[in-house]
């Protein structure tokens, strides 16, 4: 038993590293000067070490801590994404103007970020419903506080409050669902649930009800319609760095958890990967339900984004729409669908963070997040504006950017699975999305600046970091074989 635990610990280094980082940040915060960046760099270092441990795990495929957590290629892929997102967010935070007013509490900020990272990394690895709930709550509670971190700003406090209320209700509903599921199957881990369901598929009503309830919690985290109402207010109120991590990392973790939960718990052991995994659950046509949610998310997200003036609100609705696109992959839930979700998330990381980053740079210098105020910026900050255009075009899905490849594979998977109406909606909404994305580019370039043509100066560091996000966005549009291979090799889940 000790042996098993020790072995499990040896597979748990990334999580241990992030916990240690958290502790070091707390201690360091006591001893360093309040105005320094030390804690930020400690967090960065901790993330890099975590990242190294994650990479060292590659190729593992096992379950540790008595089927609590799986260390498999699937989890490792998502952890890589999360750590990357975390590292980028540190650079965001170090440059953020909004956070400068709260320097004395910045240690707290990074500590909470570490907690959130830990929660998300557990979310993508867990195979046990109890741990799933704990990880979920760890992520949520950290992010509630982070959203309200700039508490002197009215909107930020309001956003945090809304997020808490909404989050508490959804996770409560989810917990109820989890308890029902455990009650009817008598198991807490997903493999046990699967075995129980395959053995006897009685009580479809309660089963369906419990899954619906769990879906509420997961849908809330991924910001899918109809559980998306928190997103715009929260994104708008939160500091940009936190809005970015919610839009990218949080969504990634939630999707990872969703995929694993549905595949592992509800697949027929005979391997129905080709046709979908929904056969075990009778009653509701789950893939039709999910397809409906995806379609709604695409339609509502994109249509509402048309009317936004605040760039963060616009990106919030755009992220709802992207959750809809991603959900299409879940509808199919064949290996192909999962791989295309993973490719999408990988590319989405760079392009969406890029858009948030430029929005933050502009907000730092101009103290505005209004798209209307961007008029003429293309002449004052050419590099940043061109980069913004490329990120937004990539989010639209136009070649030759990475966003096109992401959409190509996702749409391809959906076409191949025969969901033509769904992909048609996706296509139409993509056209709609062009309109609001390109509106930003229009404001940047089509208007002469109102006053004198004063170039805005950005630090060299910010320009370099911009290229760190820009180059993958462009490169993945023309050379994406590595990502395909990475995703292809990472669809393997433990026990599947």
Instruction: Work out how close the CB of 415 gets to another protein at its nearest, in angstroms, rounded to a whole number.
Output: 4
Rg of the chain, C-alpha, whole Å: 22
430 binds another protein, rule: CB under 8 A: yes
Helix 286-305 to helix 420-445 angle (10° resolution) is 20
User: SS3 breakdown of the chain: % helix, strand, coil, rounded to 5?
Assistant: 75, 0, 20
Cα separation of 222 and 34, whole Å?
A: 35
Name, in order, each residue with C-beta under 8 angstroms of 482's C-beta and a sequence gap of 6 or more: none
**Residue 297: exposed, middle, or buried by beta-carbon count in 10 A (0-12, 13-18, 19+)?**
buried
Using CB under 8 A as the binding rule, whether residue 366 contacts another protein is answered as no
- Minimum separation from the CB atom of position 328 to another protein (A): 13
Give the residue with the Cβ less far from another protein, 29 or 72: 72
Task: Provide the 10 A C-beta neighbour count for residue 165.
Answer: 12
| Start-to-end CA span in the chain (Å) | 25
Residue 23 binds another protein (CB under 8 A): no
Q: Taking CB under 8 A as the rule, does residue 335 contact another protein? A: yes
Q: Among 87, 289, 366, 415, which residue interacts with another protein (rule: CB under 8 A)?
A: 415
**Cβ at position 93, least distance to another protein in Å:** 32
CB-count exposure of residue 60 (10 Å: 0-12, 13-18, 19+): middle
Q: Does 442 bind another protein (CB under 8 A)?
A: yes
Least CB distance to another protein at residue 269 (A): 18
Residue 416 binding another protein, by CB under 8 A: yes
Structure tokens, 95: 């440059």
Closest CA to 353 of 100, 113, 90: 90
Question: What's the rounded Cα separation, in Å, for the pair 300 and 318?
Answer: 10
Nearest approach in angstroms of CB 481 to another protein is: 5
Of 68 and 423, nearer to another protein (C-beta) is 423
From the list 66, 421, 435, 467, which residue makes contact with another protein (rule: CB under 8 A)? 435
Binder among 284, 445, 458, 474 for another protein (CB under 8 A): 445
Confirm if 39 and 110 have CB atoms less than 8 A apart. yes
Please list the alpha-helical segments (H only) found in 333-376. Answer: 335-366
Nearer to another protein, 214 or 347 (CB): 347
493 binding another protein? (CB under 8 A) = no
Judged by beta carbon, residue 66 or residue 467, the one nearer another protein is 467
Q: How far apart (Å, rounded) are the C-alpha atoms in residues 367 and 159?
A: 19
Sort 35 into a burial class: Cβ within 10 Å, 0-12 / 13-18 / 19+.
Answer: exposed
Q: How many CA atoms lie within 13 A of 92 on its CB side?
A: 29
Q: Which of residues 244-283 bind another protein (CB under 8 A)?
A: 274
Binding mask 96-125 for another protein (x = CB under 8 A): ------------------------------
Listed ranges 17-25, 99-107, 277-285, 474-482: which one lies at the site for another protein (CB under 8 A):
474-482
User: Which of the residues 67 through 86 are near another protein (CB under 8 A)?
Assistant: none
Please say which residue, 136 or 486, places its beta carbon nearer to another protein: 486
Alpha carbon distance 176, 96 (integer Å)? 39
Q: Which stretch binds another protein (CB under 8 A): 130-138, 183-191, 354-362, 397-405?
A: 397-405
Q: Which of 16, 383, 438, 468 binds another protein (CB under 8 A)?
A: 438
Residues that bind another protein (CB under 8 A): 274, 334-336, 339, 393, 398-400, 404, 407-408, 411-412, 415-416, 418, 423-424, 427-428, 430-431, 434-435, 438, 441-442, 445-446, 478-481, 484-485, 488
């Amino acid at each position: 038993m000790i042996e098993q635990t020790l072995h499990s610990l040896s597979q748990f280094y990334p999580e241990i590293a992030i916990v240690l980082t958290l502790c070091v940040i707390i201690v360091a915060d006591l001893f360093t000067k309040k105005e320094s960046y030390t804690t930020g760099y400690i967090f960065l270092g901790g993330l890099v070490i975590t990242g190294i441990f994650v990479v060292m795990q590659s190729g593992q495929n096992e379950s540790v801590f008595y089927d609590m957590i799986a260390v498999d290629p699937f989890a490792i892929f998502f952890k890589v994404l999360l750590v990357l997102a975390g590292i980028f967010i540190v650079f965001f935070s170090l440059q953020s103007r909004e956070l400068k007013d709260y320097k004395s509490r910045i240690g707290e900020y990074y500590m909470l970020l570490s907690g959130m990272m830990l929660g998300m990394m557990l979310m993508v690895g867990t195979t046990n419903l109890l741990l799933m709930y704990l990880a979920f709550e760890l992520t949520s509670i950290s992010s509630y506080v982070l959203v309200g971190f700039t508490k002197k700003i009215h909107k930020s406090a309001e956003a945090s409050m809304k997020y808490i209320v909404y989050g508490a209700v959804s996770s409560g509903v989810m917990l109820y669902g989890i308890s029902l599921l455990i009650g009817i199957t008598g198991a807490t881990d997903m493999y046990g649930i699967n075995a129980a369901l395959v053995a006897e598929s009685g009580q479809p009503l309660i089963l369906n009800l419990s899954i619906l309830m769990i879906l509420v919690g997961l849908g809330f985290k991924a910001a899918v319609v109809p559980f998306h109402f928190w997103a715009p207010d929260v994104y708008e109120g939160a500091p940009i760095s936190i809005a970015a991590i919610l839009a990218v990392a949080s969504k990634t973790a939630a999707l990872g958890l969703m995929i694993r939960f549905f595949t592992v718990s509800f697949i027929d052991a005979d391997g129905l990967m080709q046709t979908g995994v929904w056969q075990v659950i009778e009653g509701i046509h789950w893939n039709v339900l999910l397809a409906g949610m995806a379609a709604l998310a695409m339609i509502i997200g994109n249509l509402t984004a048309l009317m936004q003036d605040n760039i963060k609100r616009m990106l919030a609705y755009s992220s709802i729409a992207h959750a809809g696109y991603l959900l299409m992959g879940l509808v199919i839930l064949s290996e192909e669908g999962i791989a295309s979700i993973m490719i999408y998330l990988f590319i989405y990381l760079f392009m969406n963070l890029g858009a948030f980053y430029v929005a933050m740079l502009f907000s730092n210098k101009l103290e505005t997040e209004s798209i209307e105020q961007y008029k003429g910026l293309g002449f004052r900050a050419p590099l940043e504006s061109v980069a913004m255009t490329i990120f937004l075009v990539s989010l639209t899905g136009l070649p030759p950017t990475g966003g096109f490849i992401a959409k190509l594979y996702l749409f391809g998977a959906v076409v191949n699975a025969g969901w033509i109406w769904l992909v048609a909606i996706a296509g139409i909404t993509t056209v709609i999305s062009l309109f609001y994305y390109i509106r930003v580019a229009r404001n940047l370039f089509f208007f002469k600046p109102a006053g004198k043509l004063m170039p805005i100066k950005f630090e060299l560091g910010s320009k370099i970091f911009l290229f760190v996000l820009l180059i993958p966005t462009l490169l993945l549009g023309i050379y994406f074989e590595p990502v395909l291979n990475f995703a292809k090799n990472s669809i393997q889940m433990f026990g599947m």
